[in-house]
Structure 1
Amino acid sequence: MKYHSIDATLFVKNRSKFAAQMKPNSVAIFNSNDIYPVSADSSLPFAQHRDIFYLSGIDQEESILLLFPDAPYENQKEMLFLKETNEHIAIWEGAKLNKEQAFATSGIKTVHWLQNFEKVLAELMTYSDTIYINTNEHYRAVVETETREARFVKWWKEKYPAHSVAKSNPILQRIRSVKEPEEIALIQEACNITEKAFRRVLPFVKPGVMEYEIEAEMMHEFLRSRSKGFAYTPIIASGNSANVLHYIENNKACNAGELILMDTAAEYANYSSDLTRTIPVSGRYSDRQKAVYNAVLRVKNEATKMLTPGTLWKQYHIEVGKIMTSELLELGLLDKADVQNEDPEWPAYKKYFMHGTSHHMGLDTHDYGILTEPMQANMVFTVEPGIYIPAEGFGIRIEDDVVIQASGEPFNLMKNIPIEVDEIESLMNA
Structure 2
Amino acid sequence: MKYHQIDRNLFIENRKNFASKMKPMSLAVFNSNDIYPISADSTLPFEQHRDIFYLSGVDQEESVLVLFPDSPKEKFREVLFLKETNEHIAVWEGEKLDKEAALKTSGIKTVFWLQDIEKVFAEMMALAETVYINTNEHYRAKVETETREDRFTKWLLNKYPAHSVAKSSPILHRLRSVKSKIELDLMQQACDITEKGFRRILNFVKPDCWEFEIEAEFMHEFLMNRSKGFAYTPIIASGNNANVLHYIENNQQCKAGDLILFDVAAEYGNYASDMSRTIPVSGRFTDRQKAVYNAVNRVKNEATKMLVPGTIWEDYHVEVGHLMTSELLGLGLLDKADVQNENKDWPAYKKYFMHGTSHHIGLDTHDYGLLHEPMQANMVFTVEPGIYLPDEGFGIRLEDDVVIQKTGEPFNLMRNIPIEADEIESLMN
Smaller-chain TM-score range?
over 0.9
Classify the secondary structure of the residue corresponding to 2:381: strand
1:91-110 maps to which residues of 2 (within 5 A)? 91-110=91-110
Alignment correspondent of 2:416:
416
Q: Distance in 2 between matches of 1:95 and 1:372?
A: 44
Q: Distance in 2 between matches of 1:114 and 1:182?
A: 30
Give deviations 1:228-253, integer Å, cap 9, x for gaps.
Answer: 00000000000000000000000000
Q: Distance in 2 between matches of 1:303 and 1:94?
A: 47
1:63 CA drift (Å): 0.3
Q: Distance in 2 between matches of 1:59 and 1:26?
A: 25
Q: Distance in 1 between matches of 2:377 and 2:192?
A: 22
1:156-195 maps to which residues of 2 (within 5 A)? 156-195=156-195
1:94 CA drift (Å): 1.7
In the alignment, residue 40 of structure 1 is paired with which amino acid? A
Alignment correspondent of 1:317:
317
1:82-121 maps to which residues of 2 (within 5 A)? 82-121=82-121
1:89 CA drift (Å): 1.1
Q: Distance in 2 between matches of 1:94 and 1:319?
A: 52
Q: Say which is worse superposed, 94-103 or 190-199, in terms of deviation.
A: 94-103
In the alignment, residue 151 of structure 2 is paired with which amino acid? R
Classify the secondary structure of the residue corresponding to 1:339: helix
Query: Are positions 1:124 and 2:146 aligned together?
Result: no
Alignment correspondent of 1:50:
50
In the alignment, residue 175 of structure 1 is paired with which amino acid? L
Q: Which runs of 4+ in 1 moved over 4 A?
A: none
Alignment correspondent of 1:274:
274
Give deviations 1:324-377, integer Å, cap 9, x for gaps.
Answer: 000000000000000000000000000000000000000000000000000000
Query: Are positions 1:79 and 2:85 aligned together?
Result: no
Q: Distance in 2 between matches of 1:259 and 1:132?
A: 50
Give deviations 1:380-405, integer Å, cap 9, x for gaps.
Answer: 00000000000000000000000000
Give deviations 1:238-287, integer Å, cap 9, x for gaps.
Answer: 00000000000000000000000000000000000000000000000000
Q: Distance in 2 between matches of 1:373 and 1:204?
A: 44
Q: Distance in 2 between matches of 1:91 and 1:124?
A: 34
1:86 CA drift (Å): 2.9
Q: Distance in 1 between matches of 2:84 and 2:93?
A: 12
1:303 CA drift (Å): 0.1
Q: Distance in 2 between matches of 1:335 and 1:323?
A: 15
In the alignment, residue 426 of structure 1 is paired with which amino acid? S
Q: Distance in 2 between matches of 1:169 and 1:149?
A: 13
Classify the secondary structure of the residue corresponding to 1:138: coil
In the alignment, residue 38 of structure 2 is paired with which amino acid? V
Alignment correspondent of 2:6:
6
Query: Are positions 1:32 and 2:32 aligned together?
Result: yes
Q: Distance in 1 between matches of 2:279 and 2:112?
A: 52
1:90 CA drift (Å): 2.0
Q: Distance in 1 between matches of 2:121 and 2:357?
A: 45
In the alignment, residue 47 of structure 2 is paired with which amino acid? A
Q: TM-score, normalised by structure 2?
A: 1.00
Classify the secondary structure of the residue corresponding to 1:317: helix
Q: Distance in 1 between matches of 2:174 and 2:272?
A: 18
1:87 CA drift (Å): 3.7
Alignment correspondent of 2:341:
341
Q: Distance in 1 between matches of 2:126 and 2:417?
A: 56
Q: Distance in 1 between matches of 2:125 and 2:232?
A: 39
Alignment correspondent of 1:265:
265
Q: Distance in 2 between matches of 1:203 and 1:219?
A: 15
Classify the secondary structure of the residue corresponding to 1:262: strand
Q: Distance in 1 between matches of 2:422 and 2:90?
A: 54
Q: Distance in 2 between matches of 1:113 and 1:14?
A: 23
1:95 CA drift (Å): 2.1
Give deviations 1:132-191, integer Å, cap 9, x for gaps.
Answer: 000000000010000000000000011000001000000000000000000000000000
Classify the secondary structure of the residue corresponding to 1:53: helix
Alignment correspondent of 1:350:
350
Classify the secondary structure of the residue corresponding to 1:38: strand
Alignment correspondent of 1:59:
59
Alignment correspondent of 1:363:
363
Q: Distance in 2 between matches of 1:74 and 1:424?
A: 58
C-alpha root-mean-square deviation of aligned residues, in Å? Answer: 0.5
Structure 1 residue runs of 5 or longer lacking an equivalent are: none
In the alignment, residue 99 of structure 2 is paired with which amino acid? K
Calculate percent identity across the aligned residue pairs. Answer: 76
In the alignment, residue 323 of structure 2 is paired with which amino acid? I
Alignment correspondent of 2:224:
224
In the alignment, residue 145 of structure 2 is paired with which amino acid? T
Q: Distance in 2 between matches of 1:345 and 1:7?
A: 47
Give deviations 1:278-333, integer Å, cap 9, x for gaps.
Answer: 00000000000000000000000000000000000000000000000000000000
1:188-337 maps to which residues of 2 (within 5 A)? 188-337=188-337
Q: Distance in 2 between matches of 1:355 and 1:165?
A: 37
In the alignment, residue 412 of structure 2 is paired with which amino acid? N
Q: Distance in 1 between matches of 2:389 and 2:404?
A: 32
Q: Distance in 2 between matches of 1:91 and 1:190?
A: 31
Q: Distance in 2 between matches of 1:9 and 1:73?
A: 23
Classify the secondary structure of the residue corresponding to 2:30: strand
Q: TM-score, normalised by structure 1?
A: 0.99
In the alignment, residue 210 of structure 1 is paired with which amino acid? W
1:88 CA drift (Å): 2.8
Give deviations 1:74-111, integer Å, cap 9, x for gaps.
Answer: 11100000001134312211221110000000000001
